[in-house]
Structure 1
């Protein structure tokens, strides 16, 4: 299909520097018209395509750009009669809620708030074909936009209350750990993993990544990725090779700061108190030494000896509450032969036995304790 070039003249006047990152958009004809990011500097050019030809509804002639988070000041644009420029304001960095339109007239500025999040749309009104455009920007130099990562590497340290021995974590059930991770279905997690169990592995854990404006808004629906890995005796979480930090693939994220959630099959989950940024190639969080690193602090944690903190033990069915249902399951399996995939979740201290210690030291101690990780 013939491409028709259109030159737009856009004037951006800034009181501080702005960045633009282009979002991936699937046009109605099924093609990806633009993706990735553009680096724009003084007199730089942004380019893309919009679909307005056969099979393309006239209601979707739009290209979308993200204005770098934290931008503020005056945003002034001029345009021709064939184009409409829209700035949309969002309350979260995910930009997945209903936006507030920012009214613009050609050559008249809009004021951006650094605490809000914005997109910038170019809409064509009259072109009736698959159309390319080239927009020249002049004025203050723009910084490189923040590229939303497709994967991240987590360097997390966490203790399980049940396996904690005062120094590190016991590995008593190491020989019973299955090659397949047990977390499929946890907040829609799905992963086929076959692994050789490392000698110092304590158990499988699930790491989930969420993107939200605040911890309170980091709901199940803000999940952008998850991966299962091995919790080691020193509290670190590793990939299936037992040595590398865990890599998590991301989908649907718009930024690069994330909340980290940790799940275990019979402990209450916990989440970072704030969004974590990449440093030295890793997203690093230590849940063991400072309760303030965990959302809802000690309400979400078990206090351990030697000024350490851990995930609370006793949630057999992973429903987020340690209660009489968990006690009933323990009673049914008390004294039975241990089976990781059968009754193993009733072994609250991960020693390979189901007995009174599990009930007295963990389930009873933590009765009425609930998960503090936001859900809906």
Structure 2
């Protein structure tokens, strides 16, 4: 409960304001329509386009034209794409290429660090060799193992971590002859088991090739330089993967080289680091965070799930569980491939629609050089078709108000901003951006919902009495699934509020399941009535099986929601559900609040002529302009000693840039006390914090507290 003494002071301020500010007036729109500065971000997801490996300057220009078409006053968009560059490659030897990249970056598109040479064990440099030594010494800077001069090329060999065989089992023994190891290497996967460690030589080696039956491994040193080890027998060897190889200091040197190159070319330094694919060290989110955060990087794509099986990359969703604060460096793995022939444009739209409905950022990824080819069994569209697809996707995004941001922009939104905890995250039934339909789903499938696979499943229908937008609802006439949503994200940790509108016949009841996949948490089940012939709003307090609250564990990022039938009256109408909502439950705080209206005030009390008592509306009257409050409060007590309805608002600040946290319609009594519409002590559902309190009346000026009031 709010401290009474603070409220008492607040009420004095209100009473003072009665004489000066609460003069009768019909128009109060000026204060209500002030601009709002929202401290939260919406959990609205969108898409990103990522292109790797130094596309041609013509590719850049055409891609930029497609995006820039929407970045103007006509459309008002800020559509940007991201491209991962290797700045030490030969493309950057031409001024024209550099100028093109510079122009693209100036338009807001993102350049990302893909390492100088598309590898993580070394890089070649055009800078003086002295840059890589500690000044005035012959010692290399930390993170550098050696420097190799090869004519006009200088190769910087990065430092590897010391080898630790704890927990590993030796594969066997081999004989060594020059750069050949003879033994049984049948358990090695060429693509992933890149290294072999020779115990007696205390040497880590890079496997460049095997013979046909993997009885011989050909090796180089870890920087892919030729090596000769002499003739040695009975050498114990271990299989070593690509993970945990490069040292943190080595990674810093690698990233610093890209930053130096960016400045050398007149580019802004990248803030996103992209792991290059290939047979060289792979990095985890934690390694990227440790090495790159001090250098100004704020996002990245790693192979954590490869390095540490069971540790997932980022799900790319709002409110993701991230105890190590590192998921911004795990924005890996695409959700769609606009360049592959096996993904139609309509299937891509369906993927995107379902993903963003569940508050997941969807990423498209391509390598421009694959266009028009067949590579490793994958067929790629031609460049012409590729750009047609991108153009169609952008037009579709513009039509449906879908954001198209860069990697770094999404990382900032997902991991550095605070999402609105009270935003409804349940997918709306009237949002269906794709064109999917079939015989079982003739009206399509709302974005985020699983399609019905059987005739007895709930069916999407129109009910013109439905309170939900579009008058849509799910209807079912038997014992089966009503609907299913999988991998719903954007969820709030702690206690949540679930609401649903239901309709049915006598004794009808639904079962609502909340599940936590890939965890050990048991599902939560609720039995909610659907037994009225008119639409009735229910919440978890309506549940009849003893479960009346929903608490989301802190380490859960995605949930599953399914509704089934508990009881169906076969002689009645279909059971229908609509208007689902799920959001963080606000704590109810009791408030001792008192105020007087000038027109009704006389000798310490207020009164209303008996002839006017009956015209006090039963339903709260603030659901129109200028208040536009959509609450459903109903007066359930006698009109005696009641003056009128008031609207109480809690906002972030006293100036014109404010955010409205909560509003509630209430009843003003003749003694100045404000109570809930059922006559109980007035309360507000709001998170703990400090708020400015505003009270509106329909024909008086509003009044606001001069200081913020603490709710706790």
Task: Report the TM range for the smaller structure's normalisation.
Answer: 0.3 to 0.5
Instruction: Provide TM-score, normalisation by structure 1.
Output: 0.37
Instruction: Provide TM-score, normalisation by structure 2.
Output: 0.21
Higher helix share: 2
